Amino acid sequence: MATDVQGDTSRAATELTTARLRAMSPAERVRLADQLSIDVATLAAAGITAANPGIGSAELIRELARRRYGADLVRDAFGHSRAR
């Protein structure tokens, strides 16, 4: 079975996914990207919380921002960085 360049997906699955994405309207693609972004943030928050029981909401937001945007931006935005 031939695989795509990532090596973990069959060529047929890649072609099917590509065709489905191309068939979507721009609005559908935006909604999908938005939902995927929300899902990634939810999973990241769950991982941070699991690794840091009792973490406060402000610190969780800071850590999510650090992972997404980098420590320099977090320091500039929050005035300090307690993030790792």
Dist. CA 8–CA 26, nearest whole Å: 28
CB 50 within 8 A of CB 63: no
Q: Angle between the 71-78 and 57-69 helix axes, to the nearest 10 degrees?
A: 130
Q: Write out the chain's pLDDT in tens, 84 residues.
A: 565 566 788 999 999 999 999 999 999 999 999 999 999 999 999 999 999 999 999 999 999 999 999 999 999 988 865 544
Work out the burial of residue 60: count CB atoms within 10 Å of its CB; fewer than 13 is exposed, 13-18 middle, 19 or more buried: middle
Question: What pTM does this model have?
Answer: 0.72
